[in-house]
Each structure stands twice: as structure tokens, then as C-alpha cells.
Amino acid sequence: MSKKKTNPSQEVYRKKLLRRRKPNRSIAGDIVLYLFLVLVALIMAFPIVYAVGSALKPLDELFKFPPTILPKHPTLDNFSDLFVTMGKSWVTFTRYLFNTVFITFMGTFGHLLVASMAAFVLAKYEFPGGNTFFKLVTVAMMFTGYVTQIPNYLILNKLGWIDTYWAIIVPAFASPMGLFLMKQFMEGLPSALIEAAKIDGASEWTVFTNIVMPNVKPAWMTLIIFSVQALWNNRASIYIYSEERKTLVYALQQIQSGGIARTGQGAAVLVVVMIVPIAIFIFSESQILETMASSGLKD
Amino acid sequence: MSEFFKKYIALRRHNFRVMLKKAKQRKMCYLFLAPYAILFAMFFVFPVVASICLSFTYYNILETPRFVGFQNYIKLILEDDIFLISIKNTFMIAIITGPLGYILSFIFAWLINELPRWVRSVAVIVFYAPSIAGNCYVIFSVFFRGDAYGHANALLMNMGIIDAPKLWLIDPTYMLPICMLVILWMSLGQGFLSFVAGLQGVDRTLLEAGCMDGIKNRWQELWYITLPSMKPMLLFGAVMSITQAFGVCDVTMALCGYPSTDYAARTIVTHLFDYGFSRFEMGYACAIATILFLIMILCNKAIQSLLRRVGT
């Protein structure tokens, strides 16, 4: 946090009381807590480790009794099977992969742009209706998307977007969560920065693209991870019915319903599906936490 | 009296004119807001209104909606036994996993808060990963498989607790508990991240001051200092967990099938899908959606007013 100037007397106090241990903590309590945390972390990580383990298992190990958790002879056969055996079906695995990547990329990009533009004016300018609008957005965070699914279907149908990628991409632009986080984060940006740029003759758009956006990069990452998480895992079975436009998660379900023989491949798709959001999160964790620090919901 | 009204109207008119003038000055604000506002109105505000309106009609997509008054609601509550099951299941799941998941998120965020920096970031990844791992929960269907190759069965059989494999995901007695377990496993989500970040932002000087003022242990410190300074994050986390708790359907559909045996794992959202997209009774489905919407909003308001009292 911010470093404050400390006068000598405070310095003494710090040394005596706080240098070695934080106040109000006992060593025994700390040890118990750490043990507990390690235990819970193992339980939390187990299913994911198990999923990765099964994806690497050769066929004979998948059906051993008693079942094992980690493979003895790890192979990548299941992954290559995905491309080889499914390469022969009329919608190939790469096509499912492309659909999901395309939807995720377009949806996230549009969401980032549209939500940041709105968040910028909501955070930095006072204008009639602005606060009311923001309150509406926070109310929208309070119910799930399932509530609006049926009218959404009817609207998308009127627009003629059913069975196209846009049926998933465009509604994702308006996700309330992204706007909320972006606005809260932009409020922390000093207004003097914007005013200085205006005095130098910058237009609103230049202020937005050259001053505001480069300064809220942590919030970008947060919007990206939440948007990717929602779109990457989108099954899209309601809005899209053509096989060649279905997504990876849908393919995953198909493979799993293929029964016992497809168990290994099912686990492999599972790993493909989950690796992307987790990887993005690992790389951007500190920035996401920085954004979430301003995520509080004020009255 | 009439003079009062006149004054009131004059004031209103004046305020309106001031507002209009302000709005004119800030034209570009509306331009920036427009793309989001239009999409938001189209996919969030309008659908809620439309859903409420359609819930009073009979609508099957092919014919134009026909007004039927409260018939959908009456049928839902008085005649539709499966809906009552789904309400019961949803509330069971929400009441158990919602508060528990919320409290667990906070406790873990609080516990890892004091770890060294790099340990903390590893811990955040481990705890948060299940909720972003997408469909990773389907691995539980392998884990709880009904034959002897499933881990749960194998483990219990080896220990001699059961002698024949149990049909975990087909037998109604085990369905809900297993779903709750999986949901709890995934419950350290956005609220958890918000708590982790919020705890980092708690003012250190407050803790030191508390120590001087006679706070003795970490529990007192938690209640009197940490919780009150995290109130906004607590509210945010509550919104997230309520929304998730009542929207449960993916997990139950993936694990227990759709429809599940005896409808034992049916939730409100599953029921909504059934009527909306299998039977195309849109009016009826909208009535379900409206009820779900009301439950969620009311619950959120109630919890928020409760949380405002924390630490006082």
C-alpha cells in the first residue's frame, strides 16, 4: 500500500511490536491453519488433477480395477485420437475448436470495447440518467441469464440471428459484470489526467483511446477473463442447431454420450476446454486482483 | 393547495429544463453510452419486461399470444407437481450451497491473506480454478460412476462399507447431495476473488490501532476491523453467490441427466428449459422465469439489508 512518512517515535513502536510478528497471532494457530489450508487445497485440486490424469491414460489403464488416479504410462494418444478419429466425422474436431475460438474472440473483443466506452462516461462524467443507468446494470447482475432466455430467443429470431455465431456473440457484449468492474476501476483514475489532456486540446475520443484505456489495463484483463470464461464454456445448444456451428463444449457432451469407449477422448476434450481459461487466469492473476479490489458494491 | 401544486409543477419544469440543458452539454456522453445502452436494453431490460408480459398469455410461437390472466401462475402453483419439486430442489441447493459457499469463499480468502505473496497467488489459482475450469465438473460423473470402476464405489467397496456398487447418479437419494458437493467445489468464484482483493486493501494502520485499543485475538480483529471495512466486497460477493445458487442447472443436468430419475434433480431453470424449449409453451415458461426473477431480486434485497448490519 501507500508508503507514509513515519516519524521516529512511530518507528520505535513498529520495531517493538510489529517487526517480528503481526499483532494478535499465535504460532500454534498459524500452524493449524496452514495444515488445514494444504488439506483443502489438495481436495480442491484433486478433480482437476484427476481429469488431466485420465486424459493421459492409455486405454487399458482407464478401466483398471481398482481404478487409479495418475497414469503409470502417460500417453498423448487420447489427444491425437481427437483429431484422427473425429477427423473422419463430417464435422471435424478442428471445426468445433474454430467455432469456439471465433465466438470467444469476437465476443470478448466487442464486450471490452463497448463496455469500456460506457464505463468511461459513467465513471468520469456527471450527466442526467447516468446514475440511474448504472443502478439498472447492478440490478441486472442480480439475476441469471436464464431468466431472459426465452424473450432473447424471440428477439434473436426476429433479427434472423438464430443459428449464426452472432446469436451468442452480440448478447455477450452487454454483460453487466464487465461494465460494473470497468466503471468501478475507472473511478480510481485521477480526473486531473483527463482534464490535463482536454486543456491540451484532446477530443473525447482521443482521451478515451490514448489516456484512459492505456491506464486501465488491469481491468482489461479482468473483463477478458470473465468474458472468455462465459463464452468458452457456452454450450449454445439453444441458439445454434447446425452441427457445423456448434461449440467445443457441445462436442464434449457428444463425445461423452458416446459411452465407455470414448472415455479417454472425453477426458482429453475436458482438458482442452479447461486449460484455456485457467491459463489466462494464471498469467493475469495480479492484474485481476488489482481490479477486484475496486469491485465493492456501494449503497 | 392549488398554489402548492403550481409551485411544485413550476419547480419540476425548472428542474427538467436544467436537466435538458445539462444533457445537451454532455451530448458526447450519450454517444459513448449508446452502444452499450442499446444492447443492454435489448438483451436485459426488454426481455425481463417481455417475460413478465408474456407470462400472462398462452403463447406457442406459432400463434399470436392469447391473454389468459393469472392462469399460468395458478396452474404452476396448484397443479404442476413437478414445478413444486423443482422449487423444493432449487431452494435446498440454494439454502445449503449459497450461504456455505459464500462463507467458505470468505474464510479461505481470509486465511490465505496472510501467506507470503507467491504462496498466496498459488493458493488463489488452486481455489479459483474449479469455477473457471468450465465443464470440469463432468469428471465427477466418472468419479461417481454407477459400476465398480467408479472411484467412489471402488473406494467404499475396498473399505468394506458397501458390498455392491451404488448407482450414485441414478438413485434419487444420492443425487442432490452429490450435486451440492460439486456446486460447493465450484463455489469459490468471483466473490472469492473480490474478497481476496478486498482483504489486501484493508488499512494496516487500523489493525495496529486495534491492537493498541485492546483487540486480543484474530476473531475480534475480524469482526471489529476487517469485516466492516470490507462491506462493499461482502455485498458484491453476496450478489454473485445468490445469482449462482438460484441459477443452478448445468451441474444437475450434466451429472444426473435431463430429465433425471423421478425428477429428483430438477431445478427451476431445468423446468424452464423443459417448457420453453422442449414443449414450446412460452407463456408458461415465462411465468416460471418471472417467479425465478422475483425470488432472486427479493433474496438479494433481503441479504443486502442484512449485510449492512455486519460489524455494528
> In B, which residues are within 8 Å of A204 by CB distance?
28, 32
Name the residue facing B22 among A117, A128, A299 (closest C-beta).
A128
Taking CA atoms, A11 is separated from A6, A15, A234, B202, B215, in Å, by 7, 6, 55, 21, 21
Is A296 close to B36, i.e. CB distance below 8 A?
Answer: no
Rounded to the nearest angstrom, the minimum Cα separation between B264 and chain A is 21
Check residue A66 and give its pLDDT.
65
Name the residue facing A285 among B125, B154, B233 (closest C-beta).
B125
Per-residue confidence band for A34, with pLDDT thresholds at 50, 70 and 90: confident
Name the residue facing A143 among B54, B210, B296 (closest C-beta).
B296
> In A, which residues are within 8 Å of B208 by CB distance?
17-18, 23
The C-alpha atoms of residue B248 and residue A146 are separated, in whole angstroms, by 10
Per-residue model confidence as pLDDT tens digits over A95-109: 888 888 999 999 999
Q: Touching check for A54 and chain B: CB below 8 Å?
A: yes
Check residue A18 and give its pLDDT.
46
| Residue in chain A nearest B17 by alpha carbon | A128
Domains and CATH numbers, chain A: 8-75 (no CATH), 86-292 (1.10.3720.10)
| Residue in chain A nearest B300 by alpha carbon | A142
Tell me the three cell numbers of residue B200: 489486501
Check residue A17 and give its pLDDT.
47
Could you tell me which of A151, A242, A190 has the C-alpha nearest to residue B48? A151
- Mean pLDDT per 10-residue interval, chain B, length 312 residues: 87 88 82 91 91 89 85 88 90 91 90 84 89 82 77 80 79 85 88 89 83 80 85 88 86 81 85 86 90 91 85 60
Interface test mutation site (partner A, options B64, B100, B105, B142, max chain A beta carbons within 10 A): B142
Name the residue facing A150 among B185, B201, B282 (closest C-beta).
B282
Interface test mutation site (partner A, options B15, B18, B29, max chain A beta carbons within 10 A): B29
Cis status of the peptide bond prior to B259, with omega within 30 of 0: yes
Name the residue facing B136 among A36, A51, A122 (closest C-beta).
A51
Is pLDDT at A9 greater than 60 in this prediction? no
The C-alpha atoms of residue B132 and residue A241 are separated, in whole angstroms, by 26
Name the residue facing B247 among A17, A144, A295 (closest C-beta).
A144
> In B, which residues are within 8 Å of A29 by CB distance?
218
| Residue in chain A nearest B145 by alpha carbon | A260
Is B289 close to A47, i.e. CB distance below 8 A?
Answer: no
- Report CA dihedral (A38, A43, A49, A55) to the nearest 10 degrees: 170
Per-residue model confidence as pLDDT tens digits over A244-264: 888 888 877 777 776 666 777
- Name the A residues in 214-253 with CB < 8 Å from any B CB: 225-226, 229, 232-233, 238, 249, 252-253
Report CA Rg, chain A: 25
Cis status of the peptide bond prior to A67, with omega within 30 of 0: no
Per-residue model confidence as pLDDT tens digits over A227-236: 988 888 887 7
The C-alpha atoms of residue B152 and residue A108 are separated, in whole angstroms, by 39
| Residue in chain B nearest A282 by alpha carbon | B125
Q: Touching check for A154 and chain B: CB below 8 Å?
A: yes
Q: What is the mean predicted confidence (pLDDT) over A81-94?
A: 74
The C-alpha atoms of residue B114 and residue B199 are separated, in whole angstroms, by 10
Between residues A72 and B30, the one the model is more confident about? B30
Rounded to the nearest angstrom, the minimum Cα separation between B6 and chain A is 24
Is B236 close to A296, i.e. CB distance below 8 A?
Answer: yes
Name the residue facing A238 among B126, B185, B277 (closest C-beta).
B277
Per-residue confidence band for A3, with pLDDT thresholds at 50, 70 and 90: very low
Taking CA atoms, A173 is separated from A132, A170, A234, B34, in Å, by 20, 5, 14, 13
> In B, which residues are within 8 Å of A26 by CB distance?
217
Is B135 close to A47, i.e. CB distance below 8 A?
Answer: no
> Strand, helix or coil at B68?
coil
For the entire predicted model, the pTM comes to 0.85
**Contact residues for A87 (Cβ-Cβ < 8 A; gap 6+):** A93, A94
Q: Touching check for A159 and chain B: CB below 8 Å?
A: no
φ and ψ at B57, to 5 degrees?
A: -125, 165
Between residues A22 and A59, the one the model is more confident about? A59
Check residue A106 and give its pLDDT.
93
Check residue B103 and give its pLDDT.
92
**Contact residues for B30 (Cβ-Cβ < 8 A; gap 6+):** A127, B23
> In A, which residues are within 8 Å of B218 by CB distance?
24-25, 29
Per-residue model confidence as pLDDT tens digits over A169-191: 898 898 898 999 999 888 888 88
Name the residue facing B44 among A47, A128, A174 (closest C-beta).
A174
Q: Tell me the domain boundaries of chain B.
A: 1-49, 80-307
> In B, which residues are within 8 Å of A44 by CB distance?
126-127, 129-130, 185, 188
The C-alpha atoms of residue B138 and residue B128 are separated, in whole angstroms, by 17
Could you tell me which of A62, A101, A107, A109 has the C-alpha nearest to residue A81? A62
The C-alpha atoms of residue A112 and residue B157 are separated, in whole angstroms, by 52
Q: Touching check for A292 and chain B: CB below 8 Å?
A: yes
> In B, which residues are within 8 Å of A202 by CB distance?
none
Is pLDDT at A12 greater than 80 in this prediction? no
Is A149 close to B272, i.e. CB distance below 8 A?
Answer: yes
The per-residue DSSP string of chain A comes to -PPPP--HHHHHHIIIIISSS-TT--HHHHHHHHHHHHHHHHHHHHHHHHHHHHHH--HHHHT-SSPPSS-SS--SHHHHHHHHHHHHSSS-HHHHHHHHHHHHHHHHHHHHHHHHHHHHHHHH---TTHHHHHHHHHHHTTS-GGGGHHHHHHHHHHHT-TTSTHHHHHHHHT-HHHHHHHHHHHHTS-HHHHHHHHHTT--HHHIIIIIIHHHTHHHHHHHHHHHHHHHHT---TTT---GGG--HHHHHHHHHHT-GGGHHHHHHHHHHHHHHHHHHHHHHHHHHHHHHTT-----
- Report CA dihedral (B167, B168, B170, B173) to the nearest 10 degrees: 110
Contact between A146 and B14 under an 8 Å Cβ cutoff? The reply is no
* The amino acid at A104: T
Check residue A111 and give its pLDDT.
93
Is A66 close to B190, i.e. CB distance below 8 A?
Answer: no
The C-alpha atoms of residue A179 and residue A40 are separated, in whole angstroms, by 33
Angle CA B24–B27–B33, to nearest 5: 135
Check residue A87 and give its pLDDT.
65
Q: Touching check for A49 and chain B: CB below 8 Å?
A: no
> Strand, helix or coil at B58?
strand
Name the residue facing B47 among A41, A48, A148 (closest C-beta).
A148
Is pLDDT at A8 greater than 70 in this prediction? no
The per-residue DSSP string of B85-133 comes to HHHHHHHHHHHHHHHHHHHHHHHHHHHHTTS-HHHHHHHHHHHHHHHHS
> Strand, helix or coil at B183?
helix
Question: Which CATH fold topology does B80-307 show?
Answer: MetI-like fold (1.10.3720)
Could you tell me which of A92, A106, A109, A113 has the C-alpha nearest to residue A165? A106
Is pLDDT at A4 greater than 60 in this prediction? no
Per-residue model confidence as pLDDT tens digits over B2-56: 888 898 999 999 988 888 888 888 888 888 899 999 999 999 999 999 999 989 9
Between residues A257 and A203, the one the model is more confident about? A203
Check residue A252 and give its pLDDT.
78
Per-residue confidence band for A26, with pLDDT thresholds at 50, 70 and 90: confident
**Which ipTM was obtained for this model?**
0.86
Q: What is the mean predicted confidence (pLDDT) over A102-118?
A: 92
| Residue in chain A nearest B159 by alpha carbon | A66
The C-alpha atoms of residue A81 and residue B302 are separated, in whole angstroms, by 52
Average pLDDT, chain A: 81
Is A17 close to B211, i.e. CB distance below 8 A?
Answer: yes
Could you tell me which of A248, A271, A267 has the C-alpha nearest to residue A256? A267
Q: Touching check for A35 and chain B: CB below 8 Å?
A: no
> In B, which residues are within 8 Å of A266 by CB distance?
138
Rounded to the nearest angstrom, the minimum Cα separation between B79 and chain A is 22
